[in-house]
C-alpha cells in the first residue's frame, strides 16, 4: 500500500503527510493495554499519541476541508497500510488493515509517536518487527466534537 506514495525517509519525522487526510505515523514500540473508552463512539484498536505541534498542524491541515475539526480533541481514522513487507507478518497485517484508530495529542511527547493498543495482532507486529510506519486515513467529512470541560 505504501508503495503507491512517494515517501521521504520517515525515520527523522514521526509524522509524514502523504495525501489529503492520509498520514504516516512512525512508531517504535507499542504498549499492550485493554483500552475501553466508553466516550468513543467507535471501537478503536489503538490510540496513537503524537506531539502537540504536529497534532495542531494536522488539525490545521484538515480544517481546510471541515471547519468542525478545529474544535476536536481527537481524530478518528482507519489503518490503510503498514510499511512492513514479508510473508512472516502478512497474516498479522491482514488482521490490522482497515481497523479504526484514534489520534490524540500528548504534551509530554516531543519528537516521537507512542501507541497504546488493545489488538494483539498490532501489538505483536510492532513489538516483533521493531520500528514501523503505519498509514492512517482520517475521515475529514465526519462530524467532530470538541471536549467540553
Sole residue written with cell 525517509: 9
Higher pLDDT among residues 29 and 4, named by residue: 29
Q: For residue 62, is pLDDT > 90?
A: yes
User: pLDDT value at position 37?
Assistant: 63
User: pLDDT value at position 73?
Assistant: 84
- Phi/psi of residue 88, nearest 5 degrees: -65, -35
Lowest mean pLDDT, pick from 13-27, 74-88, 112-126: 74-88
Predicted structure pTM score: 0.82
- Phi/psi of residue 105, nearest 5 degrees: -90, 150
Cell digits of residue 105? 495529542
Q: For residue 1, is pLDDT > 50?
A: no
- Bin 21: left if φ > 0, else alpha if -120 < ψ < 50, else beta: left
CA distance 13 to 27: 11
Percent residues over pLDDT 70 in the chain: 78
Q: For residue 8, is pLDDT > 90?
A: no
Amino acid at each position: 500500500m505504501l508503495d503507491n506514495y512517494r515517501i521521504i525517509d520517515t525515520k527523522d519525522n514521526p509524522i509524514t503527510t502523504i495525501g489529503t487526510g492520509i498520514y504516516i505515523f512512525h512508531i517504535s514500540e507499542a504498549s499492550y493495554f485493554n483500552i475501553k473508552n466508553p466516550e468513543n463512539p467507535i471501537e478503536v484498536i489503538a490510540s496513537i499519541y503524537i506531539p502537540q505541534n504536529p497534532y495542531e498542524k494536522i488539525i490545521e491541515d484538515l480544517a481546510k476541508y471541515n471547519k468542525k475539526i478545529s474544535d476536536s480533541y481527537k481524530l478518528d481514522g482507519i489503518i490503510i497500510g503498514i510499511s512492513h513487507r514479508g510473508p512472516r507478518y502478512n497474516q498479522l497485517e491482514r488482521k490490522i488493515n482497515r481497523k479504526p484508530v484514534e489520534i490524540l495529542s500528548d504534551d509530554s511527547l516531543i519528537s516521537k509517536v507512542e501507541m497504546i493498543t488493545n489488538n494483539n495482532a498490532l501489538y505483536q507486529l510492532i513489538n516483533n518487527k521493531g520500528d514501523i510506519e503505519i498509514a492512517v486515513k482520517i475521515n475529514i467529512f465526519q462530524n467532530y466534537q470538541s471536549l467540553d470541560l
